[in-house]
Amino acid sequence: MDPLLLARLQFAMTTTAHFLFVLVTLGLVTLLVYLQTAWFVTRKPEYERLLRFWGTLYLVNYVLGIGTGIVLEFQFGLNWSGLSRYVGNVFGAPLAMETLVAFFLESTFLGMWIFGWHRLRRGVHLALIWGVALTAYLSAFWVMVANAWLQNPVGYRVEDGVAHLTDFGALLTNPTLGSALGHVVTAALVTGGMLMAGVSAWHLIRRTPDHALFRRSLRIGLVTAAAATIALVGFGFAQFVVIGTTQPTKLGGAPADSAALIDDWTARFGPGDYSPPAWTGVPLELMILIGFGLLLLAVLVPLCWRDYLIRLRFPLYLLLLAVPLPFVASILGWITREVGRQPWAVYGLLSTADAVTPASAGLMLTSLIGFTLLLGTLVVANWIIFVRYAARGAHADLALGRPVDAPPPATPRPDPALV
C-alpha cells in the first residue's frame, strides 16, 4: 500500500472527526451567550433552565472534542515531518497562537464559568461565557489563518530549503482568509441552531413535560439556523471569486490561467500531474444543494406565530430529520477545500509527496488503525453521552449550575393545549 495514501486517509479522518466537534462547540457557545444574556436581562427562570440544559450538552461536546484536537496536532509531527520541517516556521506561528488561546484563555474562562455558578456575581459570570465565546472564535480565526496560508502562501521567503516568515500582517490579510472564515463560522451557527431546533422538536413530538422551555429553544434555534444559512450561502459564493484568482486549478477555473500555472510548476518542479482529482466537483455540488435546501428553513420561521410550527407537527419531523444536513454539508465543503488543492500540501510550494514522513506502509497502516479506533471511540462516546443527556430534558436534575444544597426541581406538567 502507498504510505502517502495512508497518511492522507489518516489526516482526512482525524480532521473530519475534530471538525464535527468544532461545529457543535462554536455553534452552541454562541447560543449559550444569548441564553445567559437574556437570563441576566430578564431574570426569567426559563432562560436559566435552558442555559443549564444546553450548557451541559456543550460541555460534553467540548471535553471530548479537546481529545480529538490533541490527536490532530500529533499528525504534523508523526505523518507530515516534511511539512513541519519546510514550512513549520510560518505555518506553526498561527497554530501556536491557537493553542495558547484554546488551552489557556478559553479553557480558563470555561472552568471559571462552570464552577462560578452561585459563587460569582451574575455580571461576572455572564462576562465569563462571553469570554469563552470570544476566545472560541479567536481560536477558529487562528486555525483558518494557518489553513489559508496552505491554500495561498504569502509573507514568507525560502532560505536554505526552509520557509521563514517575513510579514506577519500578510498572514492576517491573506485574500483566502476572510470569506473562508465567514463560511466556517456561519456553518457552525447553522449547525448549532439546527441541533437546538432538532432536539427541541424531538421533545415537542414526544410531548415531554418541557413544552414551554423547548417551545422557546425551538424558536431560538430555528431563527439562528435560518439567518445563518443566508450568510453561509453568501460567504460560500464569495469564495469562488477568490479561488479563481489564487487557485485557478482547484475548481477548473479559466483554462488559460490553469495552463499557465501548470507550465510554471512543470518548469520549477518537473513533470507531473498538477490537476486535482476529477471528482472534486461532486462534493462541492452536493454541498451547494444542501445549502439551498437549508435556505427553506426561512419558510418555517413565520410558523412560529401562535405555535403553528408545533400544532402542525409535520414541520417538527422535518427539523428533526434535517439535523444531520449541516454536518454532511460541512464535511463535503472541507473535502472540496482540502482535496481541491492537491497535489499540494502548500499550494504551489510543497507537494504532499514531499510533505509526508518517509515511513513504511506497515507503520502508516498501524498508525491509521490506531488513530481510527481512538477517534472512533471518542466520537461514539460523545454522541452516546450527548443523546442521553439530551433525552433527559430540561426538567431533569442537571448538575451544571445547581447549588449543592438545592433540592431537585419539580417536574412541570405538560401544556394541555398541546397534548
User: Residue 415 pLDDT more than 60?
Assistant: no
Q: Is the pLDDT of residue 211 over 90?
A: no
DSSP code for 174 = -
Q: How confident is the model at residue 298 (pLDDT cuts 50, 70, 90)?
A: confident
Report the percentage of the chain scoring pLDDT > 70: 95
Look at residue 254 and tell me whether its pLDDT is greater than 80.
no
In angstroms and rounded to an integer, the radius of gyration of the C-alpha atoms of the chain is 23
Do 140 and 22 touch, CB atoms closer than 8 A?
yes
Q: Taking the CA of residue 141 as centre, how many other CA atoms within 13 Å lie in the half-sphere pointing to its CB? A: 13
Cell digits for 20? 464535527
What 3-state DSSP class applies to 369? Answer: helix
pLDDT band at 291 (very low <50, low <70, confident <90, very high): very high
Contact 7, 364 (CB under 8 A): yes
Q: Convert the pLDDT of each residue in 146-183 to its tens digit.
A: 999 999 999 999 998 899 999 999 999 999 999 999 99
Residue 365 has what pLDDT?
93
pTM exceeds 0.85:
yes
Residue 208 confidence (pLDDT)? 84
Domain of residue 335, residue span: 3-418
Q: What is the pLDDT of residue 174?
A: 95
- Indicate the length of the chain as a whole number: 419
Q: What is the mean pLDDT of residues 283-298?
A: 93
Pairing of strands 162-165, 344-346: unpaired
As a whole number of angstroms, the distance between CA 156 and CA 133 comes to 32
pLDDT of residue 110: 95
pLDDT tens profile 327-337: 999 999 999 99
- 247, 262 Cβ separation under 8 angstroms: no
At how many degrees (to 10) do helices 122-151 and 107-115 cross?
A: 160
Domain total for the chain? 1
